[in-house]
Amino acid sequence: MSVAQVSSTHERLERAASVFDVQRVRRDFPILGTSVNGKPLVYLDNAATAQKPQAVIDAVSRYYANDNANIHRGVHYLSERATAAYEDVRRRAQVFLGAGEAREVVFVRGTTDAINLVAHSYVRPRLEAGDEVVISAMEHHSNIVPWQLACGERGARLRVVPMTQAGELMLDAYEELLNDRTKMVALGHISNALGTVNPIKEMVRTAKERGIPVLVDGAQAAPHLTIDVSDLGCDFYAVSGHKMFGPTGTGLLYGRAELLEAMSPYQGGGDMIETVSFERSTYARIPAKFEAGTPNIAGVVGLGAAIDYLLSIGRASIAKYESELLQYAVEAIGGVEGIRLVGTPRERAGVVSFLMEGIHPHDVGTIVDQEGVAIRTGHHCAQPVMDFYGIAATARASFAFYNTREEVDSLVTALGKTHELFG
């Protein structure tokens, strides 16, 4: 399919998205029918990984049943089918992300892989001693450690945009941090620990006005918001397939063509070269230059099905439903005796982090699991956020569009029992 055809199919899918019916949507996810300890599963760990609709499961098994072959190399029937399926997803991903060209979409293993790619191939070679990379106080470890590694090697410095007790970034301080030595700004779109939706478009503009490249970690945004990298104006945008209802081991890195072209390869191997001799190799054009070796072809096909599925539900319907559900959840969880919410941002999506007086978050997680309710406890790969609040861990409920108010009520009842027993 051409990009124009993909765009018009996407528009048709989003227009055709009927009124949001959560019970109908739930039937698309077989795992949601699971019982846990004799109780219906209440899955509130979506920020860690989302469940998969039957359409994604079927796309992966159909691929293996009908199309499986290695891509880009064979002239035979199956290889051509597999290559077409894989490249077709690239065009769908381009439209999904709002990228100008399909070659600006690199298939990766996930957000972690995408950020490491940019840190290694874009930032590291351009960093000199005394340079700076700016991140924020609420980043996931995946958007801290790769920059720390690059800075450590080059004698550069990591600078951190501070946040308030509410869990919002301090924009004045951000502006003050940017200077001639800033070689990269890397910011999370939505915090996985607090749920804060950062004013990312404004923050990108602030950096771009000073000629500084920006990477956005969109791991938590892709399942909840419409992403439009052209509108955001960022240079790189990273997402994980498994958090947006696709297979694990898949992800997308959007990179502005000009920058991707100027970057050195990340990994060497098959598919990323043009010519190889023992003296020297030349590299393939983008995006193949960054896709060494046999990729997760079946996973990418499944990711394409996830994109289609999200569009068929309608991203505007998803955002509206989720925002009402989240508001309900924030009030209901916050109203349980002994609960303190961690982070109270004005703009929030997907996540509610909390503590219960007198009981460790891990114990809260274990007790509510007895009631069939799956939440996450721990530092959520955001230890600096925990340090900021002077705590070791939180309990975190995280939502998807298939969750319901009744499920929030189940969590609240389970939390009430926990408080009675141990609080």
- Compute the distance between CA of residue 395 and CA of residue 355 in angstroms, rounded to an integer: 6
Which of 3, 145, 381, 391 is labelled catalytic?
A: 381
Beta-sheet pairing, 251-255 with 105-108: antiparallel
Query: Which of the stretches 82-90, 120-128, 138-146, 178-186 binds ligand PMP when contact is defined by CB under 6 A?
Result: 138-146
Candidates 107-115, 123-131, 229-237, 341-349; binding stretch for ligand PMP (CB under 6 A): 107-115
Q: Which long-range contacts (CB under 8 A, 24 or more apart) does 45-48 make?
A: 45/374, 45/375, 45/376, 45/398, 46/223, 46/243, 46/350, 46/398, 46/399, 46/400, 46/403, 47/192, 47/220, 47/243, 47/350, 47/351, 47/376, 47/380, 47/396, 47/398, 48/376, 48/398
Using the rule CB under 6 A, is 220 a contact of ligand PMP? yes
Q: Do 139 and 323 form a contact (C-beta atoms < 8 A)?
A: no
The smaller minimum CB distance to ligand PMP, of residues 241 and 314, is found at 241
Amino acid at 143: N
- Distance between CA atoms of residues 112 and 354, nearest Å: 26
Site for ligand PMP in 31-60 (CB under 6 A): 47
Q: Does 137 interact with ligand PMP (rule: CB under 6 A)?
A: no
Active site residue 381: yes
- Output 51 or 142, the one with its CB closest to ligand PMP: 142
Rounded Cα gap, residues 316 and 296, in angstroms: 30
Order across the sheet with 236-240: list the strands. Answer: 105-108, 251-255, 236-240, 214-217, 182-188, 132-136, 157-161
Q: Least distance to ligand PMP from the beta carbon of 27, Å?
A: 27
219, 292, 306, 367: residue in contact with ligand PMP (rule CB under 6 A): 219
From the CB of 385, what's the least distance to ligand PMP, in Å? 11
Q: How far is the CB of 393 from ligand PMP (least distance, A)?
A: 15
Q: Which of residues 221-250 bind ligand PMP (CB under 6 A)?
A: 240
> Closest separation between CB of residue 112 and ligand PMP, Å?
3
Structure tokens at 6: 């993909």
Per-residue x/- marks for ligand PMP, 179-208, CB under 6 A? ---------x---x----------------
Segment near ligand PMP (CB under 6 A); pick from 91-99, 217-225, 279-287, 299-307:
217-225
Closer residue to ligand PMP, CB minimum distance, 240 or 296: 240
Q: Does 111 bind ligand PMP (CB under 6 A)?
A: yes
353 binds ligand PMP (CB under 6 A): no
The residue ranges that bind ligand PMP (CB under 6 A) are 47, 110-112, 140, 142-143, 188, 192, 217, 219-220, 240, 381
